[in-house]
Amino acid sequence: MRDHEPDRLPDSLARAVELMRQEEAPSAKWRGELLRRAAAERSSAQWNAARRVTLSVPWAIAAGLLCAVVGGAAAFGVVRYGVSDRGAARLANNSNVSDAGGGTMLPVTFSVMAPNAASVSIVGDFNRWNPTALPMRRSADGRTWQLEVRLPLGLYAYAFMIDGRLSPDPAAPHTAADDFGTPNSMVVVRGS
């Protein structure tokens, strides 16, 4: 081509472009078959999706975090209680208070002012944070809740469960916030 001639497609390409620009309606038979196949594929895909368990990204992350927490708790149990027969026996013991101190159990009295509470219990390291294991009793004054618990020697994190909500002991030293953003209280059980 020369520089002064306008750019022009060769005749064979120009004809192909012209054919592609022409819009031709598909045949009714072809369209019907296409729609039938699409419906069959969609119904098959829905059935397969119903059989298959899929997780969205947030659920997958939550499942991963749950596995990490359970694995961490298991590792903590192995580190704290050991893998000896004695440690395994302590883990297998289903009592309300675990014996982590090696046999010496001392009485510890827990007390909290909660005059409007319907129920109060103690949760902590010593009862595996079970809110039903150590329910407290309302004292005669009707304002204070108390419970004496025999604990082995050691340092324990704990909190009160007041009407289903965790609350640190206002009369005890607190730890930094736990994994859920709530500070816990600390108690040291020492021999005389």
Residue 167's nearest CA partner among 133, 131, 142 is 131
User: Domain for residue 38, yes or no?
Assistant: yes
At 63, the amino acid letter reads A
Who's near 129: CB < 8 A, 6+ residues apart?
123
More confident of the two residues 11 and 41:
11
Give the side-chain half-sphere CA count within 13 A for 22. 7
Locate 66 and state its tokens: 């749950």
Give the residue-averaged pLDDT of 182-190: 86
If you compute the radius of gyration of the chain from its CA atoms, what whole number of angstroms results?
35
- Tens of pLDDT, residues 57-77: 787 787 778 777 777 766 665
Picking from 92, 113, 129, the residue at the C-terminal end of a domain is: 92
Taking the C-alpha atoms of residue 122 and residue 168, their distance in angstroms, rounded to an integer, is 10
Domain hosting 142: range is 96-189
User: Domain for residue 110, yes or no?
Assistant: yes
Give the residue-averaged pLDDT of 91-108: 59
Q: From start to end of 19-119, where are the E strands?
A: 105-113
User: Domain for residue 70, yes or no?
Assistant: yes
Question: How many folded domains does the chain comprise?
Answer: 2
If asked whether residues 79 and 133 sit together in one domain, one would say: no
- Please report which confidence band the pLDDT of residue 83 belongs to, taking 50, 70 and 90 as the band edges: very low
Taking the C-alpha atoms of residue 134 and residue 146, their distance in angstroms, rounded to an integer, is 11
What is the pLDDT of the chain when averaged over all its residues?
77
Who's near 108: CB < 8 A, 6+ residues apart?
148, 149, 150, 151, 187, 189
More confident of the two residues 164 and 64:
164
User: Domain for residue 36, yes or no?
Assistant: yes
- Please report which confidence band the pLDDT of residue 190 belongs to, taking 50, 70 and 90 as the band edges: confident
User: Domain for residue 111, yes or no?
Assistant: yes
- Tens of pLDDT, residues 29-54: 877 787 788 777 776 666 666 556 66
User: Domain for residue 13, yes or no?
Assistant: no
CATH code, 163: 2.60.40.10
User: Domain for residue 51, yes or no?
Assistant: yes
Give the residue-averaged pLDDT of 119-140: 94
Residue 140 has pLDDT above 90, yes or no: yes
pLDDT of 130 reads: 93
**Percent of the chain at pLDDT above 90?**
29
If asked whether residues 58 and 137 sit together in one domain, one would say: no
**Percent of the chain at pLDDT above 70?**
70
Give the residue-averaged pLDDT of 10-24: 82
- Tens of pLDDT, residues 101-126: 457 889 999 999 999 999 999 999 89
The DSSP call for residue 99 is: -
Picking from 71, 92, 113, the residue at the C-terminal end of a domain is: 92
Q: Between vectors from CA 95 to CA 91 and to CA 99, what angle results, nearest 5°?
A: 60
Taking the C-alpha atoms of residue 125 and residue 77, their distance in angstroms, rounded to an integer, is 11
User: Domain for residue 140, yes or no?
Assistant: yes
Picking from 52, 75, 92, the residue at the C-terminal end of a domain is: 92
